[in-house]
Amino acid sequence: MARPRQVDMELVAQAQMLALEAETLEDLRCAQAVLLPALLDATLEQTAALMGVGRATVPRYQARLRKRLEQPAEPQPKWGGRRRASMSEEEERSFLAPWAKLSEEGGMLVVSPLRAALSQRLGRPVAASVVYRLLARHGWRKVAPDTRHPKSDPAVQEEWKKNCPKHWRPC
């Protein structure tokens, strides 16, 4: 046998006020999740159907409203951000500073020593993709070599192709 429904009339009154003053859809849905079962004697399934959400979402909205009324000034956490960051952005900048000086002097930056230094700093092995994402985050890009040497002379190359000695012997 199911538990009898207990309606908190104080919560219903606060939900009615919130429904009248709602500025966001989230606020309105939280108020509806409390008002529909209380005033219309609707079940969770009926409330969910009226609101256009799943059955499990209705108690979530109700709990969110209760929590909001207990702690009104706390903003909801937003998705996004760097949840699994190994270092802060400042630490990353300071880690890349010596490597930036090396690359500015015309040196070639190779990922394997950078990866080894990063894994030593973090105290655990890191994948190469971690290093590539780190470099991309700080605006570094891969500079591919040119397809030809800057000091090459096309006329000399064509002359060599025409007069190249054959070094093969017939059988």
Looking up residue 50, the CATH number of its domain turns out to be 1.10.10
Global confidence as pTM: 0.45
| Alpha-carbon gap, residue 146 to 131, rounded angstroms | 24
Domain holding 121, by residue range, is 89-137
Cβ–Cβ < 8 Å for 109, 102: yes
Q: Is residue 117 part of a domain?
A: yes
| Alpha-carbon gap, residue 100 to 89, rounded angstroms | 15
End-to-end Cα separation, the chain, in angstroms: 99
pLDDT of residue 164: 77
Same domain assignment for residues 13 and 60 = yes
27 compared with 143, residue with greater pLDDT: 27
Q: What is the mean pLDDT of the segment spanning 24-48?
A: 92
Residue 3 in this model has a pLDDT that exceeds 80: no
| Alpha-carbon gap, residue 82 to 91, rounded angstroms | 14
Number of structural domains found in the chain: 2
Q: Is residue 76 part of a domain?
A: no
pLDDT of residue 108: 77
86 compared with 78, residue with greater pLDDT: 86
Structure tokens at 129: 């993709």
Q: Is residue 167 part of a domain?
A: no
pLDDT of residue 32: 94
Mean residue pLDDT of the chain comes to 87
On the CB side of 69, how many CA atoms lie within 13 Å of its CA? Answer: 18
pLDDT of residue 81: 80
Structure tokens at 101: 């000086």
The dihedral built from the CA positions of residue 39, 41, 45 and 49, taken in this order, carries a sign that is negative
pLDDT-based confidence at residue 93 (cuts at 50, 70, 90) = very high
